[in-house]
Amino acid sequence: MRALTTFLLAASLIPAAALAKPKEPDAPATIAARERQAPGGREAMVGLAQTEIEVSIDVGRVAASTGGDLIGALIISGMDDKRARLQDSATGRAEAAVAPLRDALQGYNVDALALAATKAALEKPDWFGLQTIAPTKDVSPGARRSFAANAATPQAAFVSYHYALSPDFTQIRVTADIRIEHKAAPKGGVSPLFYRQTVTSVVQLARRSYDHRENVALWSADGGKLAKAALTAGFAEIERLIPYALDLGPADIKAFTAKDREKGFGAGLYGPLVARDADNPENLTIWTKDGLVHIRTLPVG
């Protein structure tokens, strides 16, 4: 019994994966030619639930839960408890560190950036046919279903945003989740969602510190000048990436994932190189399992 107790105590110190979240509905990352035909065009909803910049937490590598018996359940319970404590501790420190940046960004209208970027992006593809566009703070599945059901067009588009600091506070990341679905579900119980893609803009500091507070000080200086520049650049890049993503076809994805494709590295991310910026080759777009990611570096000062 002593050996078992010792084993359980030791196991409780091993971080484990958090309980899996309900799986989001999946859909192809490209739009079939038949789905591009939408007489009457499309209405769109732009969602940005948050009211301030968020923080990202990385508590390190975690182990998966595979045990099915009582002992396995006890071990996993201890592991999950340890991970939860680490998560809470890291979150508390990050929330305290980010406070000066949130103060500097008070009154900065990120919602307007998101709405303007989305409207301009969806107006670019000739085939999209944007009709109306509505902002919302409710990005829940229920809100999307209600919007689609009440849309005056046969298809509805949804672009939901999230912006946050990277775990080391050296980057500001803006992510757009793009979905298009039919107003009503097709026959046979098929999901009305027929397209889903994610695009991300990462803007990083040129001079970075290992100290979170020093990075926050750089972002926050001069009324949050660099943070505002990063958000402006991030949403401008999203405006470019959305129509590019919408126009991708299966041949493009196949080319991105070819074994001999040149690779790109930046901001701690690595993936097939899609393109380098013409005005600055150090800024690049790569393809990842999460979609298109653009990476740029801002000057300091």
Residue 6 in this model has a pLDDT that exceeds 50: no
Predicted pLDDT of residue 68: 46
Predicted pLDDT of residue 249: 96
Listed by start position, the domains of the chain span: 33-298
- Model pTM score: 0.83
Tokens 């889903």 found at: 196
Least confident of 52-61, 161-170, 249-258, 285-294: 52-61
Predicted pLDDT of residue 61: 39
**Cα–Cα distance for residue pair 176/163, rounded to 1 Å:** 9
* Strand ordering across the sheet containing 193-205: 130-136, 42-47, 155-165, 171-182, 193-205, 291-298, 284-288, 269-276, 263-266
Summarised one tens digit per residue, pLDDT across range 259-293 is: 999 999 999 999 999 999 999 999 999 999 999 99
Predicted pLDDT of residue 62: 35
> Which amino acid type is present at position 31?
I
Region 4-33: mean pLDDT is 52
**Cα–Cα distance for residue pair 87/84, rounded to 1 Å:** 5
Residue 137 in this model has a pLDDT that exceeds 80: yes
> Which amino acid type is present at position 159?
V
Summarised one tens digit per residue, pLDDT across range 201-215 is: 999 999 999 998 999
Q: Which of 53-57, 70-74, 91-95, 194-198 has the highest mean pLDDT?
A: 194-198
Predicted pLDDT of residue 155: 95
Which tokens is 238 given?
């999203």
**Cα–Cα distance for residue pair 214/120, rounded to 1 Å:** 36
pLDDT band at 190 (very low <50, low <70, confident <90, very high): confident
Evaluate whether 29 touches 253 at the Cβ level (below 8 Å). Answer: yes
